[in-house]
Structure 1
Amino acid sequence: MNDNVKDRDIHPVDEMLPVTQLFAYGLQHVLAMYAGAVAVPIIVAQAMHLSPEELIRLINADLFTCGIATLIQTIGFWKVGAKIPMIQGVTFASVTPMILIGVEHGMTAIYGAIIAAGLFTFLIAPYFSRLIRLFPPVVTGTIITIIGITLLPVSVRWIGGGGNPNSPDFASPMHLMLAFITLCIVIIVYRYCKGFLSNIAVLIGLIGGTVIAMLLGQANFSEVGRANWFDIVTPLAFGVPVFDIGSIISMCIVMLVVMVETTGDCIAIGEIVGRPIGRKNLAKCLRADGLSTLLGGILNSFPYTAFAQNVGLVAVTRVKSRFVVAASGIILVALGLFPKMAAIVACIPNSVLGGAGLAMFGMIIASGIRALSKVNFEGNYNLMLVAISIGISMITLTVPNFYHNFPGWAKIVLHSGITLGSLTAVILNLILNGFGEEYHVEED
């Protein structure tokens, strides 16, 4: 009797599931974020004209550190880690500054700046977390909606095949058919299956779509045969870090932007899983970002933040356990150590990812709308706040190079619709509603 009462007292976020379910749900998260996880190493390697061997080293290091960062965030220790189902990945906000630093000073200066910026983030996290009172329900609901809207173009590009939109092959009938089949599998499994199977609808859709793509000759597994079975991630493989002051300042600015975005993601996930984020837990979340970024600099990887793509997966599956995402972290570590496994995951066609992504990112929007439905819009200025914030966040979705005339430091903020929309919501809330009391629940 006491055990049953004890079980009922366990919050869904802290629920430990059977190993088979942890693996299946965790793999589902990894497949959803894999393409985004390896994109930054590929972009940086191309810009720095690195060899194929060095690119492989970057990808392995990135996946390995993604796993470590995810474990830090989900399991936590001391005052580090929010202990919520938040998967970690390399932030795209750091790409342009890293390339500029690399071209000017080399790879060692990139890693010196990342290490310093990670330490900077870790140290200021408790002070930055005091800004939590700037995120009342109308702001958090708006941010959740913005996250979903700004991610939808990712799934659209995947549906088209992931290449250049101007390419003749982009959005070909074959790509569209594979995306449509994958989406149909996800919907059918989600609707007609029960329990565990319904919760892994996205995973089943990805596997089913890939099998069909393989039968149609659209999935190429040749890279699997060429990949190594095992590879060790060597710290400081590119040499001793160089700590250039200008580069460090640039990367610290990037991390300030990342902290704003992480704050929005952390609060959004807390809202979806039913564990409101207070100042103390936000500080733990931001410290985890800082520590993971510092480790990224040592392990030949890059700055880390929450991956918004996976917020939608939590909403779709309704599986809120942080240990599921911790299992994702273990899988990512394995992918970093066993390149052949990573090569298998990389063979999933973009169009198949797009079909599943449409459901996942759409669910984030739906979650944001649900959060906003609880907000009072009568006798206040909340409607204007939501309208302008979402509108501004969509500027770069409509015209990606809209802010091309702005200086580099400003583009770091302006380029991300999530960051710009979140900042707009916070600022408009201060202007229209004033500096309200903190409403979030403080956890032990």
Structure 2
Amino acid sequence: MSTHAVAPAPPGPHPVDVRPPLRRLVPLSVQHLLVAYAGMATMPLLVGTALDLPEDRIRLLISANLLVSGVATLLQSLGVMRVGARLPIVMGSTFTAITPAVLIGKEHGLAAVFGATIVSGLVTSAVAPWFGRWLHLFPPLVTGTVIAVIGFSLVPSAAGLVTGGHGGAPGGRGLALAAVTVVLVERLAPPALARFSVLVALAAGTGLAVPLGLFDGSGVAQAHTVTAPDPTAFGAPTFVVPAVVAMLVVQLVNMVESVGDTLAVGQIVGRGDDAPTVVRALRADGVATMVSGALASFPVVTFGQSVGLVSVTRVRSRHVVALSGFLMVVLAFVPVLGAAVAAVPGPVLGGVSLVMFGMVGAVGLRILARADLTDYRNLLTSALAFGLGMIPVGAPDFYAPLPPFVRTVLDSGIAVTGIVAFTLNLLFHHTPRFRKDDAR
């Protein structure tokens, strides 16, 4: 009888690094793509419309944005050297940049917007290590509050999808249809199908929207089969100081959001909620934003939808997100496929988005629960950060009388929440006067 001990089996790969079989990988990736597509197309559409661009130029902006978002998602999920979080994070253009991009475009042209985007990306990459060193100043009190506001502040955009173009009653039916489908599939389906709950909800909602008259597929017939993004269509990027300053402010807001989303995804998947990962994520943000400006697009940031989707489906593989990034690149060159994705009825997409954004908010609250809220200082910090951060959501014109430069920051509830929570936490817990335990 042998007395030698049997060596323990080597641990398997982390679920983040596991590549699902192709039969599951493709639909899981399409699920991410469908959830994120509306946000990716909306930002360039709004900017192009505000600048009175012709339809062919708006289509070029959308194609460029899809291309950049796909490349950025691949970089963030797969990583290259010390760039990229290597987490299941979808990247896309940020709504924070809409107002500055429109103002800069009207004053100096879109070439100045793209030049400012390049500079802001360069600065983001350069300062990423400093954010990593400050990560201890972002405890659960701060990050939980910021992530919760990220989710809840996006809910109105989901409501806009529900009612936009269809009226309140059909939108309400679409909302109920999609949200209930997600809940039923998640509760009743076997685990293998529950991973596809959002995809099933989108498919079922779209199918039932046809007899209700809520489905419009005319855009598919009108779309070009194949095209190519053209970065030269708007001229070479120009570098105008006021435009660069405005976009740097936008990028500061984006960095706060990226830190929160990266930490949230790290918490969900059980890996990557640490300083080195945050630094790599911010570097990817910076590199992707530089590339975005060079390819005639806008700053990119982590998409909160990916946080919600990973939490709902519990699919932690970064390879799923990487394939969705590849599919975005394909859509940039095949507009007819993009039109097919865009044909998902707004009420259905809005209902699913409501679940996703609500899930992001719930993840934030779960992280916030790790803070000691019996300490009055922590409770006050979270309360003020929530209250001030939700002002732009409930009263969008609250800061209208202020200069545009100031409004760029204050109109973002995420930025306000981050600034308030960070400052008060610093004041109450990292200054000599308040080190003594004086909690109420």
Same fold (TM over 0.5): yes
The answer to whether the 8 Å contact 1:257/1:412 transfers is no
Secondary structure of the residue aligned to 1:381 is helix
1:117 aligns with 2:113: no
Residue number in structure 2 paired with 1:265 = 261
Residue number in structure 2 paired with 1:36 = 39
| CA distance in structure 1 between the aligned counterparts of 2:201 and 2:333, rounded to whole angstroms | 27
1:233 aligns with 2:249: no
Secondary structure of the residue aligned to 2:301 is strand
Residue number in structure 2 paired with 1:422 = 418
Q: CA deviation at 1:368?
A: 2.1
1:61 aligns with 2:64: yes
1:170 is aligned, of 167, 171, 180, to 167
Q: CA deviation at 1:344?
A: 0.4
Q: CA deviation at 1:70?
A: 0.4
| CA distance in structure 2 between the aligned counterparts of 1:406 and 1:430, rounded to whole angstroms | 27
AA at the equivalent of 1:108: A
| CA distance in structure 1 between the aligned counterparts of 2:342 and 2:182, rounded to whole angstroms | 20
The answer to whether the 8 Å contact 2:114/2:296 transfers is yes
| CA distance in structure 2 between the aligned counterparts of 1:108 and 1:365, rounded to whole angstroms | 36
| CA distance in structure 1 between the aligned counterparts of 2:407 and 2:63, rounded to whole angstroms | 29
The answer to whether the 8 Å contact 1:21/1:196 transfers is no
Which entry has the higher C-alpha Rg, 1 or 2? 2
1:299 aligns with 2:299: no
2:344 is aligned, of 323, 344, 348, to 348
1:278 aligns with 2:281: no
Q: CA deviation at 1:3?
A: 13
Secondary structure of the residue aligned to 2:232 is coil
Q: 1:339 to 1:371 in 2, by over 3 A?
A: same
Residue number in structure 1 paired with 2:436 = none
The answer to whether the 8 Å contact 2:264/2:363 transfers is no
Secondary structure of the residue aligned to 2:173 is helix
Tell which deviates more after alignment, 241-250 or 409-418.
241-250
Residue number in structure 2 paired with 1:47 = 50
The answer to whether the 8 Å contact 1:236/1:298 transfers is no
TM-score, L = length of structure 1: 0.92
Tell which deviates more after alignment, 97-106 or 68-77.
97-106
Q: 1:3 to 1:409 in 2, by over 3 A?
A: farther
Per-residue CA deviations over 1:36-78 (Å, capped at 9, x if unaligned) read 1111111111122111111111111111111001001111112
TM-score, L = length of structure 2: 0.92
Q: CA deviation at 1:29?
A: 1.2
Q: 1:216 to 1:243 in 2, by over 3 A?
A: same
Residue number in structure 2 paired with 1:245 = 241
Matches within 5 A, 1:46-195: 46-160=49-163, 162-163=164-165, 170-171=167-168, 173-195=169-191
Per-residue CA deviations over 1:5-59 (Å, capped at 9, x if unaligned) read 44x4322222211122222111111111111111111111112211111111111
AA at the equivalent of 1:134: L
| CA distance in structure 2 between the aligned counterparts of 1:250 and 1:205, rounded to whole angstroms | 40
Q: CA deviation at 1:353?
A: 1.0
Gaps in structure 1 of 5+ consecutive residues: 164-168, 437-444
Per-residue CA deviations over 1:245-304 (Å, capped at 9, x if unaligned) read 222222222212211221122112212222243222212111111111111112121110
Q: CA RMSD in A?
A: 1.9
| CA distance in structure 1 between the aligned counterparts of 2:185 and 2:8, rounded to whole angstroms | 31
AA at the equivalent of 2:299: P
Residue number in structure 2 paired with 1:385 = 381
Gaps in structure 2 of 5+ consecutive residues: 1-5, 433-440
| CA distance in structure 1 between the aligned counterparts of 2:72 and 2:100, rounded to whole angstroms | 22
The answer to whether the 8 Å contact 1:134/1:435 transfers is no
| CA distance in structure 1 between the aligned counterparts of 2:283 and 2:125, rounded to whole angstroms | 4
Per-residue CA deviations over 1:106-135 (Å, capped at 9, x if unaligned) read 122221221222222222222233221211
1:359 is aligned, of 355, 362, 366, to 355
Q: CA deviation at 1:414?
A: 0.9
The answer to whether the 8 Å contact 1:151/1:309 transfers is no
| CA distance in structure 2 between the aligned counterparts of 1:411 and 1:94, rounded to whole angstroms | 12
